[in-house]
Structure formats: C-alpha cells, structure tokens
C-alpha cells in the first residue's frame, strides 16, 4: 500500500500497489561443438570446444565442467572457445555451466569421450608455412603440420596419407603455449 499525505488541506490518500520483481536474464547454452569441425558431439578432455549461446558477454566469463574450471580462450556475447579440463578424463558425461557477469546458466549435460578428432579449417600447413590445398600440395619428403583438436593426448596417434601410414609422427600433442 502506498500512502500519500498531502497535508491538512489535500488530505491523505491510500493507493494499493503491486510490485513485481523479475530476475535478470541468465546466460543460456544452446550448443556445444567441436571447435574445429563445428559439429555437435562429445567434449574431449584437454581439447578445444566451442560453446554457443546467449548473454556470454560481460565481466568475469567462466565455464566449469562438473565444477572443474575450463580455460577460456575466446568469448563474446554468443560464443566461448575453451579448453576442456583434463580432469574429466574417464567420465562419461559432465555438467557444463557458463557464468558471465555473476550470473550462471542452467547446467547442461554434455557427453565426454576420449577422442573426437577434427582438423581446423586451413589447419594443414606445409613446411614453408603455406596452407596445404589441392593446388598447393606439400613437397615430397617435407613436413606438414596438422592443427587439430579432439585428440586427448592419451593413446597413440598415427596418420595416413595417400595409403602410407605414419606410425610415429615427429610430434603429436598440445600446441606449445
């Protein structure tokens, strides 16, 4: 009730009032994607994942999987690229929560897998630093670099090029830095 006192001449009036308090909109997760292929699928511990949604902007953007913090590599209002915590290894699923500006999303259940490999667009690079393509192939006997994600860092990584198996790559692991 709102009471207005206008003094002895105007008098007092009482007005019923209703106040509605609404919660601010929360960040919302709409999809979880392999950062290289942009296809929906499981997250892989130690790999890069893209989370799409709304209200991811603002201060102090963070994400957790089963309360384990992820490393944020990029974020804007609708997208977060992050490094999935290695501590999820061996778990079949996880609860993903995004927090932005002090507000947290509802938990989203994501599948966890040991592997979900994909190569980034433009992520096959010739030894001379140029992007490998049908019109710009690598020189025979040279080294190529594959920028990929979804390779958990556990197990053996091999390759196959033109029917030739590369059983022991020069290096297979996280990008330095």
Q: What tens-digit pLDDT sequence spans the chain (177 residues)? A: 889 998 888 889 999 999 888 888 999 999 999 999 999 989 999 999 999 999 999 889 999 999 999 999 999 999 999 999 999 999 999 999 999 999 999 999 999 999 999 999 999 999 999 999 999 999 988 999 999 999 866 678 888 888 989 888 888 888 776
Report how far residue 98's alpha carbon sits from residue 87's, in angstroms, rounded to the nearest whole number.
18
What are the counts of helices (DSSP H) followed by strands (DSSP E) for the chain?
1, 15
Q: Residue 110 in contact with residue 65, Cβ under 8 Å?
A: yes
Instruction: Give the model confidence (pLDDT) of 72-98 as tens digits.
Output: 999 999 999 999 999 999 999 999 999
Task: Say which residues have a Cβ less than 8 Å from residue 8's Cβ, sequence separation at least 6.
Answer: none
Torsion from C-alpha of 96, 82, 173, 128, nearest 10 degrees: 150
């Amino acid at each position: 009730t709102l009471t207005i006192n206008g003094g002895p001449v105007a008098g007092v009036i009482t007005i019923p009032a209703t106040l509605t308090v609404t919660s601010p909109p929360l960040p919302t997760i709409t999809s979880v994607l392999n950062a290289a292929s942009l296809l929906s699928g499981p997250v892989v511990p130690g790999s890069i994942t893209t989370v799409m949604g709304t209200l991811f902007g603002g201060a102090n953007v963070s994400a957790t999987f089963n309360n384990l913090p992820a490393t944020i590599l990029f974020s804007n209002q609708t997208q977060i690229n992050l490094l999935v915590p290695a501590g999820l290894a061996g778990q079949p699923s996880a609860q993903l929560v995004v927090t932005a500006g002090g507000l947290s999303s509802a938990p989203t259940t994501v599948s966890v897998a040991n592997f979900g490999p994909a190569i980034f667009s433009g992520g096959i690079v010739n030894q001379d630093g140029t992007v490998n393509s049908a019109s710009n192939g690598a020189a025979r006997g040279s080294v190529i670099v594959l920028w990929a994600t979804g390779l958990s860092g556990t197990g053996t990584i091999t390759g196959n090029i033109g029917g030739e198996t590369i059983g022991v790559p020069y290096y297979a692991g996280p990008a330095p830095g």
